[in-house]
Chain A
Amino acid sequence: MTGQITSQLSVMAAGTDHQGLTAILFLAVVGLTIGITVWASRQTKGAADYYAGGRSFSGFQNGLAIGGDYMSAASFLGISGAIALSGYDGFLYSIGFLVAWLVALLLVAEMLRNSGRYTMADQLAYRMKQRPVRTAAATSTVVVSIFYLLAQMVGAGALVALLLGIDSQAMINVTIFAVGILMVFYVTVGGMKGTTWVQIVKAVLLMAGSALIVVLVLAKFDFNLSDLLGTAASNSGHGSAFLEPGLKYGATTTSKIDFLSLGIALVLGTAGLPHILIRFYTVPTSRDARKSVLWAIGLIGTFYLFTLVLGFGAAALLDTGSLDAAGNLASPKLAEEVGGGAGSTGGAILLAVIAAVAFATILAVVAGLTLTSSASVAHDLYNSVWKKGKASERDEIRVARIAAGVIGLIAILLAIPAQKLNIAFLVALAFAVAASANLPAIVYNMFWRRFNTRGAVWSIYGGLISAVGLVFFSPVVSGKGIDPVTGKNLSLLPADIDISWFPLENPGIVSIPLGFLLGYLGTITSREPDAEERYTELEVRALTGAGAESAVQH
């Protein structure tokens, strides 16, 4: 007890120097990314530059950028925190997030690169009625991106507040506002080129920073994984159950099915995330798109192996009772510990470095999301639906920039009340919506000649509405009641309102099959000979690259 109090006092004493250093490194990250963005803006001329970075990135560069776009705050802070608190069950997230890349590699990346131009909707609009499918695809793009954006912004607010010692709600809101302004700046000024380079720099920083901490953690256990696991298990207070599945999800049959539902959404969601899909347009050919996914798989897989060590390392070396409820600060605190502990110079430096890396992570991901949704609003809704394809390139990009500002503002306004929500939950919901609304349409479109406009529209809206609707009537929103220990309301709505009738927190196990079923039913109840005929062209183009968009020559 006394030991705990002294260690807390020393944390508070050390607080002031590490905060100064952390603030300097945060500003360095912001300065660097602004520099990159301004540089990139000079290279950006037309729509292909603005939306797709001129399609001139190499497979390796795009692989890094995909890693930078994908490894979000939920991965870096959320997964290691989940492992630190719930042990093995946190690791299941990493596996789903990685295996999902095989869907993207085998079924989506190359064909999408060959058949689209700027947005996810392009590939559907290739053979269907433009206005209904673009409206549907743009709607689901914006919804998925906003859920994902909220998660990142809430994470940024919590991170900055805790690391810089800000505890007033007003200052946290100012942080969220500042992140929102920065992401709009990156996207409106730097376009896809600026965003891509920010993501590449972030991926390098994140890999280097985590590798350093991993080596330092393993060195503490003489590189003996079994010792690390044993110490984590005994220090966690759960014993060997900490290293086995089921600690968090294994309690009841409902929670087990909930976990299965989450697992399905994770593995099928990645290949339907719009901000990941449009990254395939930034390379010159489908072969480069394949190479970029291969690099991304190597990078992301290595990173998730790192999170395993970070999570169990935090459980072994930290007093996990002192972490925040979601464990989001496990990695930064672990960095401080292996750097020499609270109060040491080494600890302060490593804590500041890892915090700055986490901040860079958030900035790179929000930029990618804002770009994706603004591109879809401008290219799909403004130009194709509203102007019937007659808007000039200049007008379209102008609208994209305005849309980025509006989406940034919406994200800021929603993020402030969303701070009650768990980051990992928001990201998991984005994956569930992507898997239910987007993946069925993409897969049917590529592999089923008979698929048509009605099928696409039904599957997108059906998947979208069922995924979001089931969450609304789930225990997440109401009906969980009050936690008997902490006295906190466990659901979003006030505890006396209970509208929950869907027992699972993860909707995927129902909404994903529903998305596929509605796509099938919509298709067989209507005939669209044009769409079937044009499948010939789509199929040839998707498999051979004949007539695909080529790189911009400067």
Chain B
Amino acid sequence: MTTHDQAQRHDPVYDRLHETAEFTELRRRYRGFAFPATVAFLSWYLLYVVMSMWAPDFMSTKLWGNVNVALVFGLLQFVTTFLIAWMYSKYSTKNLDPLARQLDEEYREGRGEAS
């Protein structure tokens, strides 16, 4: 195997950072938000697609004027998308970025670079 077969850089500083409690915590916090949120919005979206095709009576129920359940359900997909994006933005700024910055500093120190 030539060096080119695999990207060349391998710095032991990464192994050290990987073992730290901060990194474990960062990964736990990231996955703790991203994974359940992904399952939630994908299920919610699939529910919408399936209902559109297989529950036409429910979807065509009129709510007021010419506005029916299908339109409101569709617009709610917009609302939940904006909401999850906004929540992730808040969550990551508060819970992920400080830990990521701290670990990045440790990395720079570990390699003798000025931060």
How far is it, in angstroms, between the C-alpha of A286 and the C-alpha of B108 when the chains are bound? Answer: 17
Contacts A125-B7, A130-B7 given; indicate if A545 touches B81 (C-beta within 8 A): no
User: Which of A29-37, A95-103, A420-428 lies at the interface with chain B?
Assistant: A95-103
Complex contacts, A534 vs chain B, CB 8 Å: 6-7, 10
Contacts A88-B70, A250-B53 given; indicate if A95 touches B48 (C-beta within 8 A): yes
How far is it, in angstroms, between the C-alpha of A87 and the C-alpha of B11 when the chains are bound? Answer: 57
Complex contacts, A304 vs chain B, CB 8 Å: 78
The A-B contact count (CB < 8 A) is 180
Nearest-CB residue, chain B, relative to A99? B45
How far is it, in angstroms, between the C-alpha of A233 and the C-alpha of B60 when the chains are bound? Answer: 13
The answer, among A305, A531, A537, A545, for a CB contact under 8 Å with B10, is A537
Interchain nearest-CB distance for A92 vs B (Å): 6
- Inter-chain contact A543/B81, CB cutoff 8 Å: no
Complex contacts, B66 vs chain A, CB 8 Å: 226-227, 229-230, 233, 240, 243
The answer, among A243, A298, A384, for a CB contact under 8 Å with B71, is A243
**Main SS of chain B's interface residues?**
helix
Q: Does A15 contact B (CB under 8 A)?
A: no
- Report the interface size class on chain B: 35 or more
Starting from the known contacts A102-B38, A243-B68, 12 additional A-B residue pairs (CB-CB under 8 Å) come to A95-B77, A105-B85, A106-B38, A226-B64, A229-B71, A246-B52, A250-B56, A301-B81, A530-B6, A537-B11, A540-B17, A547-B11
The answer, among A106, A297, A543, for a CB contact under 8 Å with B100, is A543
- Inter-chain contact A127/B6, CB cutoff 8 Å: yes
Convert B83-106 into 0s and 1s, putting 1 for each residue whose CB lies closer than 8 angstroms to a CB of A: 011101100100001011001101
Q: Does A527 contact B (CB under 8 A)?
A: no
- Inter-chain contact A544/B53, CB cutoff 8 Å: no
- Inter-chain contact A226/B45, CB cutoff 8 Å: no
Contacts A545-B104, A546-B14 given; indicate if A301 touches B78 (C-beta within 8 A): yes
Convert B1-31 into 0s and 1s, putting 1 for each residue whose CB lies closer than 8 angstroms to a CB of A: 0101111011101110110000100110010
Complex contacts, A225 vs chain B, CB 8 Å: 67
Beta-carbon contacts under 8 Å, A250-268 to B: 250, 256, 259-260, 263-264, 267
- Listed from nearest, the 7 A-B pairs whose CB atoms lie closest are A226-B65, A546-B107, A245-B52, A229-B66, A244-B60, A263-B49, A537-B14
Complex contacts, A539 vs chain B, CB 8 Å: 18, 27
How many residues of A are in contact with the other chain, CB < 8 A?
Answer: 65
Interchain nearest-CB distance for B78 vs A (Å): 6
Interchain nearest-CB distance for B87 vs A (Å): 11
Q: Does A287 contact B (CB under 8 A)?
A: yes
The answer, among B33, B71, B100, for a CB contact under 8 Å with A545, is B100
How far is it, in angstroms, between the C-alpha of A256 and the C-alpha of B55 when the chains are bound? Answer: 11
The answer, among B10, B26, B82, for a CB contact under 8 Å with A544, is B26
The winner among A95, A103, A225, A297 for most chain B CB atoms within 10 A is: A95
How far is it, in angstroms, between the C-alpha of A199 and the C-alpha of B91 when the chains are bound? Answer: 30
Beta-carbon contacts under 8 Å, A230-282 to B: 230, 233, 240, 243-246, 249-250, 256, 259-260, 263-264, 267
